[in-house]
Amino acid sequence: MDQKKNSRRGFIQKAAIAAAAAVAAPTILKAQDQGQRNKSAETGPFKLKYAPSIGMFRETVGSSDPIDNIRFCNEQGFRAIFDNGLMDRPVEEQQKIAAELSRLGMDLGPFVLYADFGVTSFVTSDPEKRTLLLDRMKQGVEVAKRTNAKWALVVPGRYDESLHWDYQTANVIENLRYCAGIFEPAGLTMVLEPLNTLHDHPGLFLTRIPQAYLICRAVNSPYIKIVNDLYHQQITEGNLIPNIEASYSEIGAFHLGDNPGRNEPTSGEINYKNIFKFLFEKGFDGTLCMEHGKSLPGKVGDARVIAAYREMDSF
C-alpha cells in the first residue's frame, strides 16, 4: 500500500513539474529570443551608415593606428567611416585604409578636397584661380583612385564684397561645371557643404540648403551634389526635415552633430531619431559622417557616443 502511495505521489509530482515546464517554456524561449534581439540591437550593424571619423574612439582602442580604429568601428556595428584628412595621409597609408575598408565591406564617406575659408575662389571668374582649383580637383581624383573613394567635399570659399551676389553665383556654377568634367571620368562625386556664418564661419559664400540646391540644379551634373551638415543647418535655418525633403534629389551625404555644442546626438536640441527614421524610410544609403565631438571625455565619452547612436537608431 505504501509503495502504491509513493508511486502515485511520484507520478503526481512529475506531472506537476512537466505541466509547469510546459507553461514556462514559451516564456523562457520568449525571454531568450528577446535577449538575443537585444544583444543584436546592441552589437549588430546599424540601420544607417553612420560614419565615425578615424580616431574618434582612440581612447578606447588605445591606438591612433587607422586600421585598429577602423576594425573597432566595424566591431561596434558601424558600416562606414570618414576621414577629412585623407588627402594629407601618406600614399601607403591611404592604400592600407582602402584595403581594410574593402575587406570589411565598409563605405568611405566624403574626404575634404578643398575648403579654404580665407579666399575668394569659386565666386570669381579669374582664369588663374580657376586653373588652381582644377589642379586641386585633379589631385583629389588621384586620391580617390588610390582609396576607392566615391565622394569628395568642397567648400566654395568666401564671398566677394565687391561683386554682386548673382554674378558670384553664376561664377560658382561655371566653375563647378569645369570640375564636373574632371570628376565624371573618374566616377567621383563632389559634395558642396553649406556652413553657418552665425557661429563658426563668417564670410563664406555657401550657407543654406536651398542655395546649394539651386546651384546643383543649375550645374545639372550627377557629379555635383550636397552634403547636408545638420549641425550647421540647425544654426542657419532649422526646418531640417522639410529642407531634406525639398532638396533630397541633390543630397549625396550628411554630416552630423547636435546643437548647441556640436557633440553626439542627444546632447542638444536636434531630434535625430526622427531624422534618421525619415532617412531610413526614404531609403537613404549614403554615409552620415559623425563630424562632432564628445560631450564626455575619455573612454566614458566614447561609450556615450556609441550608446547615443544605438538609441537614435532604435526608431
Residue 18 pLDDT grade (very low, low, confident, very high; cuts 50, 70, 90): very low
pLDDT tens digits for range 237-290: 999 999 999 999 999 999 999 999 999 999 999 999 999 999 999 999 999 999
Q: For residue 30, is pLDDT > 60?
A: no
46-312 classified as CATH 3.20.20.150: yes
- pTM comes to 0.87
Q: For residue 71, is pLDDT > 60?
A: yes
> Beta partners for 51?
289
Residue 120 pLDDT grade (very low, low, confident, very high; cuts 50, 70, 90): very high
The sign of the CA dihedral 240, 244, 247, 251 is: positive
172/152 Cα distance (integer angstroms)? 17
Please say whether the beta carbons of 64 and 55 come within 8 A: yes
DSSP secondary structure, 130-146, as one string: HHHHHHHHHHHHHHHHH
Name the average pLDDT for the chain. Answer: 90
Q: What is the separation of C-alpha 211 from the centre of its chain, rounded to a whole number of angstroms?
A: 22
Give the type of residue at 280: F
pLDDT of residue 15: 44
Query: With pLDDT > 70 as the criterion, what percentage of the chain qualifies?
Result: 87
pLDDT of residue 22: 38
C-alpha cell at 165: 551676389
pLDDT of residue 21: 38
176/174 Cα distance (integer angstroms)? 5
Domain ranges of the chain: 1-43, 46-312
